[in-house]
Amino acid sequence: MCPQSPDIIVIGSGIGGLCTSALLARYGKRVIVCESHTIPGGAAHSFRRRGFEFDSGPSFYCGLTGTQSLNPLKQVLDSLGESIQVIPYDPLGHYHFPEGDFPVYSNAERYRQEIAKITPQGAKELQQFERRLLGLYEAMKDIPTLALRADWQVILVLLQRYLPSLAKMLPYLTLVQSSVGDVMDATVKDPWVRRLIDLECFLLSGLKAQGTITPEVAFMLGERSRAGVEYPVGGSAAIVNALVRGLERWGGKLRLGCHVEQILVESGKVTGVRLRNGEILSAPIVISNATMWDTYNQLLRPEDLPTAYRQTALQTPAVESFMHLHLGIRAEGLDNLTGHHVVVHDSSEDISKPGNTCMISIPSVWDKNLAPEGHHVVHAYTLEPFAGWVRDDGYEAKKREKAESLYRAVEKIIPDIRGRVVLELIGTPLTHAHYLRRYQGTYGPAIPAGKGMFPSTHTPIQGLYRVGDSTMPGIGVPAVAASGILCANSLVSLSQMAELFK
């Protein structure tokens, strides 16, 4: 039971907001999470229609179990005393190019063997590329995210506990700042493998190799090879539910359908929030899990922030939004179906062109309970710009036309898909922006490597912090969990952190 007057208010129950709030509750803080939607989880929320359980976003996870996981989300769950069940699987997916399909294995050696069947020289070059990245991963992996914080005291932690690991990092310091494109240019000439690397970066960050930072891909390659990939039993909702259980177990409170209209600031200090229903909640600390554009444009008055700071933040470019196709389908005869697919329609077009690269996830192949008996649940999505979408007379026709590239992608895996559909939901950037409460339905900031860094959790307003995918370290479930850890740890003493870490 959380008292009326909390220490901390968290705006939003995305994975970033839930990790922050649950950890702070674990540290003994009185925390209230205000979530606008009636379902928690933000981009990772699931929803049910006619017995089908749909993931609205992520479905690709690794390191959710095991005793030595490097996934920051798992480290948060461990601190809360929570766990989830998972189903491991391999290959982690199939890539479908116009010139052919191939399986992608978690294990790096097996992955290279598949590539060698297409381009033996390219497979050798890929090995050089991976060696560079895995060296960085090996150096990074001894410093658990749970031990870090986002202020100067992190230096004390690193010097006291992780000096040997820091020494291991030294040869890789230039790599930490560099783009994956730089590493690729130095190691890979084969055009097919270069496109593959671009694709993997794009799937991870929304940007191709030149725009993606090296540590992100080093971590992804290292972790998927070391820990393998797995899907949570019950879908993404299982992760969200575990975090909510953890939050509540440690005394925190989640209020759903609780839209924050304004962050209240007096004399440069946060004093609380005003809800849409007019209610005022007071607290000396407010943490926003809304995007930077929503936080700075919608939740604060312009005069609350220094003009130049506000302008720079609001000018941050955003990755496009999405078209979604959620299907419930009849499953008869689909015995060898696998769960993850990426379809590139046209090799002569850029992979980041909206509609050209489509991601497909069929999680009921791992967890049958996500669909009624004899059925599967399918989620296909592709990038789509927000601009130009309006709910006018042409909306339904445009929606159907834009869903075509998704249907054609699913046809590569299930040729007679259209005849199997028993439930169809098409989402546009307007749907995405509405249900996720995200500025222009964006995937997150498009901050290319070398052109800037994701902002820290701190803001110029005393008592106001931010977490989630428009803060350090960036987009993706592990990254936003890390942002929650960095924020929560920065709000407690080193001794409290050490106590938890034990």
Ligand X SMILES: Cc1cc2nc3c(=O)[nH]c(=O)nc-3n(C[C@H](O)[C@H](O)[C@H](O)COP(=O)(O)OP(=O)(O)OC[C@H]3O[C@@H](n4cnc5c(N)ncnc54)[C@H](O)[C@@H]3O)c2cc1C
Footprint of ligand X (CB under 6 A): 11-17, 34-37, 42-44, 57-60, 259-260, 289-290, 294, 299, 322, 381, 436-438, 443-444, 468-469, 475-478, 480
β 340-344/93-97 pair status: parallel
| Cβ at position 114, least distance to ligand X in Å | 21
Cα 99-384-53 angle, rounded to 5 deg: 90
In the complex, the smallest distance separating the C-beta of residue 445 from ligand X, rounded to whole angstroms, is 11
Nearer to ligand X, 172 or 389 (CB): 389
Look at the block and give the residue holding tokens 């078209």: 323
By beta-carbon proximity to ligand X, the closer residue of 355 and 444 is 444
Q: How far is the CB of 284 from ligand X (least distance, A)?
A: 19
CB of 494 to ligand X, least distance (A): 26
Q: How far is the CB of 492 from ligand X (least distance, A)?
A: 20
Q: Write down the least CB distance from residue 478 to ligand X, Å.
A: 6
In degrees and rounded to multiples of 5, residue 424 shows phi and psi of: -130, 130
Considering the complex, state which of residue 169 and residue 242 has its C-beta at the smaller distance from ligand X: 242
Element (H, E) at 382: strand 375-384
The DSSP 8-state label assigned to residue 441 in this structure reads G
Nearer to ligand X by Cβ, of 131 and 301: the residue is 301
Dihedral sign of CA atoms 336, 334, 340, 68 in order: negative
Q: Is 355 left (phi over 0), alpha (psi -120 to 50) or beta?
A: left
Residue partners of 308: CB distance under 8 A and separation at least 6: none
Task: Using the minimum distance from each CB to ligand X, give the nearer residue, 120 or 257.
Answer: 257
Cα gap 451→10, rounded to integer Å: 30
* Closest CA relative to residue 378, chosen from 339, 435, 321, 418: 339
Helix-helix angle 120-140:108-118, to 10 degrees: 160
**Residue placing its CB nearer to ligand X in the complex, 58 or 66:** 58
Closest residue by beta carbon to ligand X = 14
Kindly state the smallest distance separating residue 500's Cβ from ligand X, in Å.
Answer: 21
Q: How many angstroms separate the CA atoms of 502 and 390, rounded?
A: 53
318 contacts 445 by C-beta, under 8 angstroms: yes
Check: CB of residue 273 under 8 Å from CB of residue 11. yes
Amino acid making up residue 262: Q
- Smallest distance from ligand X to CB 18, Å: 8
**CA of 353: how far to CAs of 22, 128, 208, in Å?**
38, 29, 11
Cα–Cα distance for residue pair 195/472, rounded to 1 Å: 27
CB of 423 to ligand X, least distance (A): 19
Q: Estimate to the nearest angstrom the gap between the alpha carbon of 37 and the chain centroid.
A: 18
- Residue among 158 and 233 whose Cβ is closer to ligand X: 233
| Closer residue to ligand X (CB): 157 or 218 | 218
When the beta carbons of 52 and 60 are compared against ligand X, the nearer one is 60
**Which residue stretches of 323-450 are H helix?**
395-413, 417-420, 429-436
CB of 59 to ligand X, least distance (A): 5
Q: Which is nearer to ligand X, 296 or 381 (CB)?
A: 381
